[in-house]
Amino acid sequence: MTKHIFVTGGVVSSLGKGLTSASIGMLLEQRGLSVRMQKLDPYINVDPGTMSPYQHGEVYVLDDGSETDLDLGHYERFTNSPLNRHSNYTTGQIYLSVINKERRGEFLGQTVQVIPHITNEIKAALAMPAGEGVDVVITEIGGTAGDIESQPFLEAIRQFSLDAGKENCLYIHLTLVPYLKAAAELKTKPTQQSVGILRQIGIQPDILICRTERSLSRDDRAKIALFCNVPVEAVIEEKDKDFSVYEVPLSLVEHGLDELIVRKLGLKAGPLKLEQWRDLLHRLRNPEHELSIAVVGKYSEHRDAYKSIYEALDHAGVAHRAQILIQRIHSEAVEREGPERLLAGVDGILVPGGFGERGIEGKVDAVRFARQRGIPFFGICLGMQCAVAEFARNVMGLERANSTEFDKNNPHPVICLLDEQRTITDKGGTMRLGAQPARLTPDSRAATCYGTLDISERHRHRYEFNNVYRPKFTEHGMQVAGTSPDGILVEVVEIPSHPWFVGVQYHPEFKSQPTRPHPLFAGFVGAALKRHPARTEPGGGDGGA
């Protein structure tokens, strides 16, 4: 019998519900349990694939091609829970499914309503990841208790325990306990009110996790326990972590969260194995080198727009015992101020993915700077496409060469629409998406990094390398280092004469874990480190000049 944990949030958004849920998943896995992670999002978009990164941060892509919320990235970095399209549902998806059923006549004769039709659909979604061999499903409910949009989800998780049995469900509420400087004390009232909202709709949280900047005293916890109707041991402190998100699980263990969950759900769990995780934190805390890596993006001012890229760089840094100082550089700033001013001191340049014309020329300038100066370069998706355009313009002499995404009538369309995309008009879920196999060229840099020739990586694009130009690129020194297994779609390009210049059409950042960094990120950071062997002390070296 699979057990269910529901994680809700209160008081404010951005409390780190995703990280907390991922941490719980990781702890239960490290106690030998089989865990599945799931997120329900209250917005009406069917998936976040159509949303701007400014609205919602990164769109996280799964193997099966689902375009999902970035919290699923935390789940995959912290746990080994296999994720698929049942791992992320939105209000839009739930309603779409109910409305389609109504049109097909499946509710013939009935008035279709939020309760029971929408809530039944949500309950079916909650049950999806459960089954044979799965010990626990952890479902995070997006939004905050009290939001109009979250109501059907909260109602559904309340009903769920009636069907599945109260003993098989656990409600965890993440809340904020703010510190008021003027009063010089922590305030528990917002937590009481948030739990009050949940209790009004029939949910009594079993465990409260309190985000706070100061430690809770025994009295604070006792007060919260009394007003929120939970035992004091179920009031768990989650103090802000300035250093690394990977500290969160360990601090929850300190407050006994894993044991509490195991006991409350009657799980048959083994002892907690934390050696690997402790080693990770030790490495993070004790770097031997310091590297400056520029990520030249077009959404750089948004903290979460390149979340998985920043994380993957950190993972590769851990592998090389290097602290990565990530410079978030806006490609429009490169256009305005020139690459010299913004990129002169860096050890590596990464140009990530994106859509639309704005900021493209700055990305192309950054590629040129990396190529000409021999600075390790890593281009991802749009970043690879910009590298191809830059090479065509400045090495092959194809003036103004570009992607047809930005210039439909370009005389040198070195990047063009994928054939399969030509007849597609709908925007949602219609790109080339998800895991696709690729074959690497023997002895290429990529093949050396992966240590194998057959790979599978996740994609999210409509445009591709234009094969008409392939011989010309090879002739001038940009090699195709990986293609689809039939040899047709270009997946990897490299400049062998450059210290490290690799562009990939896919998104390797989605498959990097802190204890298992992605081979290309590891290769890139390794090359950046080689460029600055003098830097052996964090904060020392040549100061990035």
Write out the binding residues for ligand GLN, residues 220-259 only, by CB under 6 A: none
Q: Which one of residues 382, 440, 493, 525 is an interface residue with ligand GLN (CB under 6 A)?
A: 382
Q: Which of 277, 270, 276 is CA-nearest to residue 248?
A: 277
Write down the least CB distance from residue 403 to ligand GLN, Å: 7
Say how far residue 433 (Cα) sits from the centre of its chain: 16
Q: Which of the residues 461, 509, 518, 532 is marked catalytic?
A: 509
Q: Which is nearer to ligand GLN, 18 or 352 (CB)?
A: 352
Please name the amino acid found at residue 526: G
Q: Are 160 and 174 in contact (CB under 8 A)?
A: no
Angle at which helix 307-319 crosses helix 519-531, to 10 degrees, equals 60
For 281, half-sphere exposure in the C-beta direction (CA atoms, 13 angstrom radius) is 14
Write down the least CB distance from residue 84 to ligand GLN, Å: 21
**136-141 vs 35-41, strand pairing mode:** parallel
381 binds ligand GLN (CB under 6 A): yes
Write out the binding residues for ligand GLN, residues 456-495 only, by CB under 6 A: 460-463
Q: Which is nearer to ligand GLN, 86 or 461 (CB)?
A: 461
Q: Which is nearer to ligand GLN, 136 or 386 (CB)?
A: 386
277 conformational bin, left if phi > 0, alpha if psi -120 to 50, beta if neither: alpha
Q: Which one of residues 73, 129, 317, 354 is an interface residue with ligand GLN (CB under 6 A)?
A: 354
Q: Which one of residues 29, 155, 390, 405 is an interface residue with ligand GLN (CB under 6 A)?
A: 405
Q: How far apart are CA 489 and CA 468, in angstroms?
A: 12
Q: How far apart are CA 4 and CA 29, in angstroms?
A: 14
Q: Which of the residues 169, 381, 386, 449 is marked catalytic?
A: 381
355 binds ligand GLN (CB under 6 A): yes
353 binds ligand GLN (CB under 6 A): yes
306 binds ligand GLN (CB under 6 A): no
Q: How far apart are CA 227 and CA 177, in angstroms?
A: 14
Q: Are 289 and 535 in contact (CB under 8 A)?
A: yes
Q: Which is nearer to ligand GLN, 95 or 355 (CB)?
A: 355
The position carrying tokens 């074959």 is 439
Task: Return all residues near 4 (Cβ < 8 A) that are at least 6 apart.
Answer: 126, 130, 136, 137, 139, 160, 161, 164, 168, 169, 170
Q: Are 377 and 494 in contact (CB under 8 A)?
A: no
406 binds ligand GLN (CB under 6 A): no
Write down the least CB distance from residue 193 to ligand GLN, Å: 42
Write down the least CB distance from residue 477 to ligand GLN, Å: 24
Q: Which is nearer to ligand GLN, 49 or 541 (CB)?
A: 49
Write down the least CB distance from residue 478 to ligand GLN, Å: 18
Q: Which is nearer to ligand GLN, 206 or 405 (CB)?
A: 405
Of 47-55, 218-226, 341-349, 350-358, the segment contacting ligand GLN by CB under 6 A is 350-358
Q: Are 330 and 297 in contact (CB under 8 A)?
A: yes
49 binds ligand GLN (CB under 6 A): no
Q: Is 509 designated active site? A: yes
Q: Is 381 designated active site? A: yes
Q: How far apart are CA 122 and CA 4, in angstroms?
A: 14
Rounded to 5 degrees, what angle do the CA atoms 378, 384, 390 make?
Answer: 100
**Encoded tokens for 71:** 């919290």
Count, residues near ligand GLN per rule CB under 6 A? 10
Name the residues that contact ligand GLN, by CB under 6 A: 353-355, 381-382, 405, 460-463
